Every structure is written in structure tokens, then in C-alpha cells.
Chain A
Amino acid sequence: MSKDNELDDLFKRNLEDPVNKAAYNEGDWDALEQMLNKKKKKRIVVYWWPMAIGAAALLLLFFGWWIFKPEGSDQYSQNKAEKHQKINKDLAGHPKQQNQPLQQKASQVSGPLSPENLAVSPVKGRKGGGFIKPAPQVALIPASSTQTTAPQKNDKTDTGVKQNLMAKTPGQTVQKPQTDATFALSLPAKPDTGAAPGQQKKPAKIRSKQSFSPRYALSILGAPDINGVGGFQQSKVGTNVGFLFSVGITKKLTVSTGAIYSVKPYLTGFGNYHTPYQFKVTPTTVTADCRMLDLPLDIAYQVYNRRQNKISIGTGLSSYIMLRESYKFSYADTYETGPSNYTVPGTSKYFFGVLNLKATYQHQVNSKFGISIQPYLKLPLGNIGYSQVHLQTTGIAVGVTWNLNPLPKP
């Protein structure tokens, strides 16, 4: 063992604390300084990005929900409330100060139509409630309690059990908590949006030096979404199924395109419906059923990537190819009606007529497959379809992604 000690000693003596063996190198300091500078940025990125992204995704959803809330929605809900008055056989004679003659007519005649109305409106109520509900819960704002109870009340009155007074309240209760929630949500969200654009530019600078080759991926996705005209107050649930082909052109930027078959039903007041046809009797609402091919061309920027989880935000334009458009018209008066439906013949195309906004969370299951969840919002840049409506859509797409060239293993 003494030999071992001798050997150890030889090295210890020489290597333990060499004096002036390693000459100072300015290049090393530069490298460290870069690390220190990067750290400041990284700290912001690491701790704030996921939050900023979460906020951005939520905003994306709420944006369509609240900002685009049309003025007419007040009238709509009040109109609805009045319908219930009619159902309760509390016939005319009540002063309806705020309503236009048309709506008055609607409420008066809705009595005989009540079975249909009943069939439609509770569903609407639930759907609306179902979609509104989760949002305030996520935001953890007390307003959610009033929010969620509102549609329930609405349902109750839809069954037509309640009295006059009760029937009148839902119109107001539905409306007021919503506006409260708008305030509650928009206030905390604002600072986040303010910070987000500033930060977005930073990660771009910290570009890794690793060589990059384009990555190709194929995704199949399906999405329930809600469609509304001018807002999502009178929304209906649609279905989308399609595939996307995406190419990672840099480490962070991905371009994608594909085809999505969409079923977009929507309901709108006749005021939003444009047609050269002269209706003798003006319908109150229009229920549309559109089948279309949505051809998106999007670009997405990856803002977060850790382990198997990626978050990206994207935007782009969609072209719609209308395969089938059919409209059903509801009239106020059962005896005095016009055409009940209209189907637009042939197909029509709207190139790059829709703006897409999306946030994508992707979880890589293995080197080949990943799953993704993508909240999105589609805003029309022009009027879409035969009826020239301003149809907007929001939804959450769920998909499976197949990497055509597997990711290199770390």
C-alpha cells in the first residue's frame, strides 16, 4: 500500500493547488457573463411563461366570449323571459316599455308555439351554462357562483312552473352576473397580457446552436366547438374532424396546414341575416346548419418546452369551402309565415376569410406520438356564407400527433 500512497502523494503534491498553472482567459469570463445575462432572461421566461401562456389561452377564449358580446343580447334574454310569461298564461296587457314592436309580437305569439320553444330553449340554456361554467372556475373568481346558478334558474323557469315574477327575473339574473364576471376576469388578466408581448421577443434571442433539420408531423384532431354570430351569446355546438400537416421550420416556429370538416350550426336573429330575397313576413330567428371544409394555414411559435410538454401559440388564416348551407326560419306568428327553410345550392369558397388564434399544449407520449389540446378562436375577417353573417367559432381541439421523423433522443 505504501506504493499506492506514494502514487497518491505524487499527484496530490503536484495537482492539489497548482499556482498560476491556469492562466486567466478573458474568453472564459465572456462565456460566464453570457450565462449570467441569460439567467436574468431565463428567470423571467421560466417562471412567467407558463403563467403568461395560461393567461393568454384563457384570454383567447374569453376574448370571443365577452368582448364580442353583442348589444342585442340584453334584448334577447329579456325577450326570452317574456316568452315564459306567455307560457304561464299571463296574457297581454303588461307594459313592455323596452321592446320593439317586433319583439313584442314575438312574445305574444310564442304561446301557441310553446312546445317548440320549450324544446329549444332549455337546451340552449344548458349549453350556454355548460360552457360558461368552467371558465370562472378556472379563474377562481367568486363571481362563478352567481354565474353557475343563473342558467339553472333559467332551466327551472323553462319548465314553466314558476310565476310571473320569477319568470321575469331570470332575464336579469342571467345578464347581470355575466357582466360582473367580465369585470372580474378582465382586471387580473390585463397585466398578464401587457407583459406577454414584451416577453415574447426574448426567447427568440436565446437560440440554441444545435443544428436543425425540419420536422414533419401529422395530426388527427377532433373538436367540439361553439359557434355564434357576433358573439357567443346565442351559440350552438358544432363538430370538427380533420387532419393537419405541420412542418417545424425552425426550433420554435411551426407552419401547419390541413383540412378540417366542420359542422357549424348556429342561431342568429334575422337582423344578422342578409339575403336578396324579400321576405313578406320577417322571421325572428334563423337557424343555420353549415357543412364546410376549413383549410387553415397557421404559424405557431413555441413558447414553452420542458421534457415532453410543449406549449405554443399560433395564428393564421383559414379558407372555408362551404359544402352545404341550409337555413331554417322561425316566425313570430304561426299563422303568418314565410318560407320555412332554404338550402343554398352548390358550394362557395372564402379564401383566407377567417383569422385563427390558437394555443396548443402538446404532450409527447413517445418519440413518435403525442397528444395535444388546443383551445382556439376563429374570427371572420369578412362575412361568411350565403347569409353574409359574421360567424365566429371557439372550441377546444383534441388530437393525436404523429412525428414523421422521430425526435432525436436526448
Chain B
Amino acid sequence: MGEEELQQLIKGCIKQDRKCQKELYKAFYGFAMGICLRYAGNRDEAAEVMNQGFFKVFTRAGKYDEAVPFKAWLGRVMINTSIDFYRTKLKMAYTEDLELADQLTDGELPDKNLNYDDLLKMVQALPQAYRTVFNLFAIEGYSHEEIAAMLKINAGTSKSNLHKARLKLKEMILQADASADSPDHHKDINYTRVVAIKKVDMRDIFLNNDTRE
């Protein structure tokens, strides 16, 4: 889409012209959805958050500053909407004991050809708090201080959540690797140990066991 055409659409959106709104929505659907998908737990949630984002864009189109590229502004709106959407959930502390996962493998990440869908699934599988921090830090490139301010948490929590997110992602990558190699390999050991541990993602334990052996 040309810049001129885009500006026309934005003007239409400011006037609340439904046709312009739809065209703009279609044009940026993939971009916006791409952002929301990795902040959300699943596609439905992502679509809901994205619509809320577009809703803000359309209702506050008048506030758009032309000095900023529209796409960047839209991206910010989507990220902020995602954060708002989950802010309440984020406040719930994850008391999960990740000491277990701390001794996770130092081995190299498997050189696997993981595609968009695989990686997205992994990010979406992260607990909300970890996912949000990971997105903001690793993909958006914010500092821990900035993230702390955005999420109204402290920088230490942000660092800790990032750390935990990375551990979990590594586990998932390894698991993807392992299951690809031999799907039945871990099953026998794993089910014996899970019982005593509360609220812990099973994958933690599976992988820990692996590394200790």
C-alpha cells in the first residue's frame, strides 16, 4: 500500500468511515495479528486483543501523529493492548519453583529447523507473565527498566521472568528435539516422579530428570 493511499485511509478512519476502517483493518490484519498472537495464549484470545487494539485505533484515530510511521504506532497500540489485557493476570505471582529448572542443560540448542508455527506455539505455551516479558525483551527489544515501568512490576521480576521464560523455551525446544528423535523415550521415567510436585509444569520435571541422569 502506498503512503498516499494509507494517509487517505487514515483520514477516512478519523471520519469514522466504516469502509476505510475495514480496508485499513484488512491491510494491517496480518501485522497486528502477528504481534497479538505471541502475547496471547491462543488464536481466539489474540483475535480478541487485536480487535480491541483496532477499536482503540479507530476510536482514537484523531490522536495519531503523522510524524510517527503508522505501522509503528499500530504496533505500539497492539502491544499496549496486549499488556492491558493481561495486566491483571500478570499481577498474580507465579510461585512456581524454578530452582529445579536452573540446572538445565548447558548443551547447545539443537540446530533444528523450527518454523514460525512451532516457535509461536512454544511462546504461547509460556505462562502469561513470562511470555509478556520475553516478548517485550527479546522481540521488541525493551530494557528491563522499561518493561518494569510498562508492566508495573519491578525490574528484578522482569529479569527473573525473562530467565524463567528462556529456560522454559529451551526445555520446549529440547523436548521438540527429543520427541522428534524418539517419541517414546522419556515416558517410562517421567510418570513416576511427578506426584509430589505441585503446580509445576510437567515438562520441567521431565527434563530435569534427564539432565540429572
Contacts and interface: CB of A to CB of B under 8 A. Distances in A.
A98 B135 CA distance: 88
Nearest to B106: A3
Contacts of A19: 30
B119 A3 contact: no
Most buried by B among A4, A11, A39: A11
A20 interface: yes
A15 B25 contact: no
Contacts, number: 87
Given A17-B34, A20-B30, A32-B51, A8 B138 contact: yes
Contact of B139 (A11, A22, A29, A31): A11
Given A11-B123, A12-B139, A28-B50, A39 B55 contact: yes
B21 interface: yes
A14 interface: yes
Contacts of A12: 138-139
A29 B22 contact: yes
A3 B55 CA distance: 39
B169 A33 contact: no
B29 interface: yes
Main secondary structure of the interface of B (DSSP, over half): helix
Interface string A4-44: 10111011101111111111110011011101100100000
B30 A7 contact: no
B30 A15 contact: no
Which secondary structure dominates where chain A touches chain B?
helix
A8 B119 CA distance: 11
A14 to B, nearest CB: 5
B51 A35 contact: yes
Interface in B1-41: 18, 21-22, 25-26, 29-31, 33-34, 37-38
Q: Which of B18, B21, B31, B51 has the most CB of A within 10 A?
A: B51
B54 interface: yes
B119 A14 contact: yes
B55 A14 contact: no
Contact of A10 (B54, B114, B120): B114
B186 interface: no
Contacts of B137: 8
A36 B30 contact: no
Given A3-B109, A35-B55, A39-B59, A15 B31 contact: no
Contacts of A3: 108-109
A10 B123 CA distance: 12
A6 to B, nearest CB: 6
Interface string A272-310: 000000000000000000000000000000000000000
Contacts of B130: none
A4 B106 CA distance: 11
A36 B170 CA distance: 41
Contact of B54 (A16, A22, A25, A32): A32
B116 A15 contact: yes
A22 B55 CA distance: 19
Interface in B49-69: 50-52, 54-55, 58-59
Interface in B109-123: 109, 114-117, 119-120, 123
- Among A6, A22, A28, A36, the most chain B Cβ lie within 10 Å of the Cβ of A22
A3 B104 CA distance: 13
A385 to B, nearest CB: 58
A4 B51 contact: no
B109 A7 contact: yes
B169 A32 contact: no
A20 B48 CA distance: 19
B33 A16 contact: no
B33 A22 contact: yes
A32 B116 contact: no
B160 to A, nearest CB: 14
A24 B29 contact: yes
B176 interface: no
A15 B34 contact: yes
Contacts of B170: 7
B109 A18 contact: no
Nearest to B107: A3
A11 B18 CA distance: 36
A32 B119 contact: no
B101 interface: no
Contacts of A39: 55, 59
A36 B21 contact: yes
Nearest to A12: B139
Contacts of A21: 30, 33-34, 116-117
A23 B119 CA distance: 18
Nearest to B26: A24
Contacts of B120: 14-15
Contacts of B116: 14-15, 18, 21
Nearest to A15: B38
B205 interface: no
Contact of A29 (B25, B37, B38, B119): B25
B166 A4 contact: yes
9 contacts: A8-B138, A11-B139, A14-B115, A15-B116, A17-B31, A22-B29, A28-B51, A29-B22, A32-B25
The 8 A-B residue pairs whose C-beta atoms are closest, nearest first, are A22-B33, A8-B138, A32-B51, A18-B34, A24-B29, A14-B119, A22-B30, A12-B139
Interface of B: 18, 21-22, 25-26, 29-31, 33-34, 37-38, 47-48, 50-52, 54-55, 58-59, 108-109, 114-117, 119-120, 123, 134, 137-139, 166, 169-170, 173
